[in-house]
Structure 1
Amino acid sequence: MLELYGHPFSSYTWKALIALHAGETPFIFRMLGPDQPENGARVAAASPLGKFPLLVDGDTEVFEATSIIEHLWLNHSGAARLLPVDPVAAAKVRMIDRVFDNYVMGPMQAAVAEHLRGGGKDQARIDEACSQLERAYGWLEGWLEHYVPSTTISLIECAAAPALFYADWIVPIPTSCPRLAAYRAHLLALPAVVRCVEDARPYRGFFPPGAPDRD
């Protein structure tokens, strides 16, 4: 039985969970928290900085959410078509995965990190992160002109759903990006994503800038 170590409110844990849910892949979820020190110790020892999520598949440990999804695609694909079979098409999917991780999730987390500093937060860094998100939104609006969303879950949806869910809490998607706003709504209606949203709902009070009363 696969084991996934993470937290229900973690964006990157969501990314792995969406792939598992979409593939209807059996797994055990190992919660991270003060009441589960043994889970934290397992994660801390698995990767250079001890970050989660962590997938344990027998004797194999896989960290980094994208690598976890690649591992699932190769070994436990189930019902989900996480990556195209064609290597050229797969390379394009991986590129968009990097866009959501680096240019949406990255700035969002940078803003959250500053809020965690409390009174010591650097507003200039928050403003810079917000500016980066706005620029990424504009690029994604153009990309969506040629990308047709579907109910199929791929690596793109696994990356896009948590990134856009939380980024929109930091910088709401503007009216100038209607395709992106519609794509976020589409993602949040997918059953695999709905499960993540609902499982994370009890932890919204932990969102440092304050979670909006929506979604």
Structure 2
Amino acid sequence: MSLTLHYHPLSSFCWKVLIPLYENGTAFEPKQLNLQDPQEVAAFRALWPVGKMPVLVDEHHDRVLAETTIIIEWLDHHHRGETRFVPEDWEQAHEVRLWDRIYDLYVQHPMQRIVFDRIRPPEQRFAIGVAEERELLRRTMAMVDAYVADKHWATGEQFTLADCAAMPALFYADKVEPFEGRWPHALALLERLKARPSVARVLREAEPWFRYFPKE
């Protein structure tokens, strides 16, 4: 098979790439990573030394692709399906790419830092850093809520790259800073995203792993 995705079903950034693959019914071989296996980790880092998931191998084009936005744009160009993830119109594409970055950098990243702090030993936890990340996440969510108030999907009427970024970011952010009663428009967008078949499939496959999500 031309495409192989190295991933883990609990990883929010892996969801971001699974969504467009499922959205267009793109054929690929999923290769789930066992991060507890040193040999498997070493083999993955030989493929991509940074060691961050996901990584897509495109044998037909002889390319190893990392970074979720880059992977989705590659799929949009080389493995095109009915759903286009980056609009042809430059202004619309600019807006989509902007919100892709906002969801990755200012929703996902602070959410992850808060969650990762939970799994540290108590003596290594960083309360000041967590407070700063929460404050950034709350500011960003207020901005997201205002922006999506009059939109069906993340940037408008078209399902795009921005939605692929928004769904995992919002799903896990809601567990860290619950949206109910604070950000109703963001919550409504999340519910619409969860109902989309490609997203619902990602969530079904991840469900057995949710018990490993660290709670307070």
TM-score after normalising by structure 2: 0.90
- Alignment map for 1:68-79 (pairs within 5 Å): 68-79=71-82
Deviations 1:132-154 (A, max 9, x none): 11111110111113433278531
Shift of 1:118: 2.8
Distance 1:151 1:192, change over 3 A: farther
Q: Is 1:49 aligned with 2:54?
A: no
Q: Distance in 1 between matches of 2:138 and 2:175?
A: 13
Which amino acid in the other structure matches residue 127 of structure 1? A
Q: Is the 8 A contact 1:151 1:190 kept in 2?
A: no
Cα RMSD after superposing both structures? 1.9
Match of 1:100 in 2: 103
Match of 2:31 in 1: 30
Q: Distance in 1 between matches of 2:169 and 2:65?
A: 21
2:68 counterpart (65, 70, 77): 65
1:130 counterpart (130, 134, 150): 134
Give unpaired runs (5+ residues) of structure 1. 211-215
Q: Distance in 2 between matches of 1:181 and 1:84?
A: 25
Q: Distance in 1 between matches of 2:40 and 2:84?
A: 30
Match of 1:181 in 2: 187
Which amino acid in the other structure matches residue 168 of structure 1? D
Which amino acid in the other structure matches residue 30 of structure 1? K
2:125 counterpart (121, 128, 136): 121
- Alignment map for 1:66-215 (pairs within 5 Å): 66-119=69-122, 120-149=124-153, 152-209=158-215
Match of 2:11 in 1: 10
Q: Distance in 1 between matches of 2:159 and 2:41?
A: 29
Distance 1:90 1:42, change over 3 A: farther
Which amino acid in the other structure matches residue 3 of structure 1? T
Give the secondary-structure state (helix, strand or coil) at the position aligned to 1:145.
helix
Identity across matched positions, percent: 36
Give the secondary-structure state (helix, strand or coil) at the position aligned to 1:183.
helix
Distance 1:95 1:41, change over 3 A: same
TM-score after normalising by structure 1: 0.90
Q: Distance in 2 between matches of 1:139 and 1:36?
A: 41
Q: Is the 8 A contact 2:56 2:66 kept in 1?
A: yes
How many residues are paired up?
210
Q: Distance in 2 between matches of 1:36 and 1:195?
A: 27
Shift of 1:65: 0.7
Deviations 1:32-72 (A, max 9, x none): 00587665344312334111100000111100011100100
Which amino acid in the other structure matches residue 192 of structure 1? S
